[in-house]
Amino acid sequence: MLPGEVRAMHELSICNAIASTAVKHAEGRPVTQVKVQIGHLRQVVPDALQFSWEVVSSTTDLKDAQLVIEQVPAVVECLDCGATTVLDLAILACGACDGFDVKLLSGEELLVVSIDLVDA
């Protein structure tokens, strides 16, 4: 399998999960927007997720629903120096003192935040 295929399928799996969550909560009502939060540490490529959404949503009741992706930066709190820093790389180190003893505050989100429905 080519690396590109693996990646696309990764986003496709995630889109299937987004779609089933949205359909469950919509209870048959038309959906216009699905908003998700994806943490930077999740290795999700937003463009690939949007493309996958076109494929997945077209086969479901969600074909008119727009996917809105909120990306959440990876933020760590250093347990040595106490600094809170945003990661540029996926290396879990403090941006202030380079220490590795850090607590992850955000960046692992994989969340359906909300759906917008057309009022009956």
Other Cβ atoms within 10 Å of 13 Cβ, number: 12
* Least gap, CB of 97 to other proteins (angstroms): 14
Contact pick of 41, 48, 76, 78 for other proteins (by CB under 8 A): 41
Other Cβ atoms within 10 Å of 97 Cβ, number: 15
Q: Does 77 bind other proteins (CB under 8 A)?
A: no
State residue 43 phi and psi, 5-degree precision: 55, 35
Q: Do 44 and 13 form a contact (C-beta atoms < 8 A)?
A: no
Residues 11-40 that bind other proteins (CB under 8 A): 12-14, 16-18, 20-22, 25, 32-33, 35-36
Cα–Cα distances (Å) from 16 to 69, 75, 80, 84, 89, in that order, read 15, 27, 41, 34, 28
Of 82 and 113, CB closest to other proteins = 113
Residues at the contact surface with other proteins, assessed by CB under 8 A: 1, 5-7, 9-10, 12-14, 16-18, 20-22, 25, 32-33, 35-36, 41-43, 68, 72, 75, 89-93, 100, 104-106, 108-119
